[in-house]
Structure 1
Amino acid sequence: MPTTIGCLSRVYVGEIPYLKYFIEHGIKIGIDTFYFVFPSDAHMGALSDIIKQYPDHCQIIVEDQGRNVNHALRIDIQSVKTDYLVSIDIDEFIYVPGDVRLGDYLAEKDISAARLKWIMSPRDFDEHTGPIEGFKGHTGKNLARTSLITGIKNPHSFDSTEEMPFSKDKGVKLVHYWGRSFEDIVIKCIYQNLPNRKRSSLEEMTDLVKQGKIPERLRVLASLASHENNRVLHNHMNHQLRDRALEQDLLKIASKTLLDDVEGLYRQFKAGLDYDTQVGAYPKLGNIYALGALLSE
């Protein structure tokens, strides 16, 4: 029997321009079942319409009203029927050496669990039509046999009754597109109400722009997008990341004047960054929040 792979992902309305490409890439590398978790049915809409285009590969899990997107991953692990499970976000893409399916690779290498360290590949205005490039991130996500998992501890790790037997094999890569475009991060600033430092809203962004400032998430993108890439992945898995028309549909909630001002302030902030202290400090700082705090000083 083929080794089956499940992918657990949280979704919110801002993923409408990107979800299709995440699913199609996952199917290409051998994801058998996507478990998409919504924090409430109020977030479904057009997202569920996209997911329903792939009925053989996708399941929708709706959490209770009021659950935020971070908590939404705490699902009943018994509902996962695949041999393996990986928990990744829609902006994280797995790459497998060669053209083999992920399940076949894990079986061949006899891998029961793996830490998939991030390769950061942030984008703002550069389409990156050549080979996929990136640099080392500070953390990553876990993949493991479902039989070893007792629950979802947080977006980056699983609960288990025993120590995870993490493989030393480094063949499988996890590329984190921390910004699939400049518009992606603006959309996140407007729509993604995360309960952490990256939280913002259209109203908060508008107030910041009036002060000649940009949201912390955009400051972080400016730093990450200024990094010197030092890792190149093979081009055979190059793919599309976004639907520009759908991005523009989501951005219609904001005025053109505001969006132009945000872009102008972003470009100004990015041009003024000091590489050693404000760009090269990551990933040595240890996490994105520390980078955000540094850039807010």
Structure 2
Amino acid sequence: RTEEFINYFRYDYDRPESLDQPFTVNTDVAVSPWNADARLVRIGLAGYELPEQERPDANLVFLLDVSGSMGSADKLPLVKTAMRQLAGQLTEEDRVSIVVYAGAAGLVLEPTNDERKIRDALDQLDAGGSTAGGAGIELAYRVAEANRIEGGVNRVILATDGDFNVGTSDREALVELIEKKRESGVTLSVLGFGRGNLNDAMMEQVANNGNGNYSYIDSALEARKVLGDEMGATLFTIAKDVKIQVEFNPAVVSQYRLVGYENRVLREEDFDNDAVDAGDIGAGHQVTALYEVIPAGGEGWVPARRYEDMVDDRARELASEAAYVKLRYKR
């Protein structure tokens, strides 16, 4: 997805100094590198970076796919590498459990912060059997709820190639279950592994409905980035249902298009509707969006319209403004 390429990199955005205002909004404009008549408008949010001593305790349940499809080197072995990255960063108050699923689901590691126990449990895992993802998710949620930390992070982290053996009705039931559980405060993140039968769309949908995030891991380096360097942004939420709305001034911009984010677009009326779910942002997280715009009077992608030159006086008065960015979120 285009937006994943854009957001893969860290940008030198100004950062907020306290959680009183959890974001900064950073904007700039440049000539489009592929069309000299267009401009790129970059809008970047930067989240508050949570200091180590401020981060809440974590109750993490790893739900690991150990079915036969996970046997290749870029799947289960890489899952183990990713988890070892995390095991070395736990505090005394954190808890990690491991649930596995293949033909059946089972708890293989009771909640612990003992790095050695986590590594020993990982060493004993092998891939084999068919996939029964739904039963695994239900068990993982039960374990998360039984070990809930009030005021802490309670999250299920699913590691899989997404090759669930579930039909359409089961998939809808799965999404319904995940939506219901997020209301109780247990969220879901997804780590995708491998190629070939990778069910990318399914995994993104599951993470979106679970108020979590979805990351694709294809190397030990990427495992370190997601569960090491960016652990705060992956686990610790500073704002939920974050929505961005951009209005362009027709006196300055005649045409515009958002680059990527096709499956994240909200209807205009949903921006102010707090019942409509949107994305969550973690500590230190950045979100970048690019708009390609055609300056007023320039030749754009669609032919000229009969009334497009009839810009109202108010737009001309605000000609020093190209766009107006609105941000809405819940603490």
Could you tell me the TM-score, scaled by structure 2's length?
0.26
More strand by share: 2
Structure number with greater Rg is 2
More helix by share: 1
Could you tell me the TM-score, scaled by structure 1's length?
0.29
